[in-house]
Each structure stands twice: as C-alpha cells, then as structure tokens.
C-alpha cells in the first residue's frame, strides 16, 4: 500500500523575545539551537525584530549580554549596539556581570543627512 511520507515534526531553531514600551525596545532573549548556529539565524531574527520595533515607534533598543559571550557581543556590535553600562553580578548562575548595550535609531538618521 502506498502512502505519503510521514510529516516531520516541527523544530524550533531560534527565537527572539522583546517588548516595546513607549519608544523603547527591550530585547529579553535571543537564542539559536547550537546545531543551527553560524547560519545567519540570529542576525535575521534580530534584524526582523528591530525592524518591527522601529515600525512601532521605538527609538532605542536595550539588552543585557554576558561579557563572556563573544559571539553575541560581535553580533550586537555589527548592528551598532554600544556598551552603555554594566550590571554587577546580574547572572545568578555564575554571578557574572551583564553588559548593558543600547542602539539608538536617532544616530542612524543623523548620519544619513
């Protein structure tokens, strides 16, 4: 008896969680499955999320990142995020500080003129 192939279960390769309050985007979490990294997924998620936040009126984006997370820091730097502060002992599991990063859309507009 012939039958169609069984459907493959859906897999989540990555996600971005953020909120927009007033004119601020707060990026809460960006993650990509370890087997799916180095394929541009985080870049695409961040780009789409920032575009959506901007369309909602965001003028600044904020996030925290571990100083030891070099790949994430490189990604955020490539988007133009700047270190604006540090939160001491932010992460409960390691007591590691968090770097506070910000991206300002106003600077993007000023540089285009």
Residue 76 a catalytic site member: yes
Contacts of residues 44-47 at CB distance under 8 Å and 24 or more positions apart, as own/partner, are: 45/14, 45/15, 45/16, 46/16, 46/75, 46/79, 47/79
Choosing from 64, 83, 96, 104, which is the catalytic residue?
Answer: 64
Q: What is the pLDDT of residue 113?
A: 43
Give me the domains of the chain, ranges plus CATH numbers. Answer: 14-112 (3.40.630.30)
pTM of the model: 0.84
Choosing from 24, 48, 76, 104, which is the catalytic residue?
Answer: 76
Summarize pLDDT for 66-87 with one digit per residue, the tens.
999 999 999 999 999 999 999 9
Mean pLDDT over all residues of the chain? Answer: 92
Tokens 């897999």 correspond to 11
- Cα separation, 50 vs 74, whole angstroms: 17
């Amino acid at each position: 008896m012939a039958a169609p192939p069984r459907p493959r279960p859906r897999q989540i390769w990555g996600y971005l969680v953020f909120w927009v309050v007033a004119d601020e985007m707060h990026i809460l979490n960006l993650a990509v499955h370890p087997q799916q990294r180095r394929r541009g997924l985080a870049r695409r998620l961040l780009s789409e999320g920032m575009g959506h936040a901007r369309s909602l009126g965001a003028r600044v984006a904020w996030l925290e990142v571990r100083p030891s997370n070099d790949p994430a820091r490189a990604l955020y730097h490539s988007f133009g995020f700047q270190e604006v502060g540090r939160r001491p002992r932010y992460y409960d599991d390691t007591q590691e500080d968090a770097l506070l990063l910000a991206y300002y859309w106003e600077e993007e507009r000023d540089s285009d003129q």
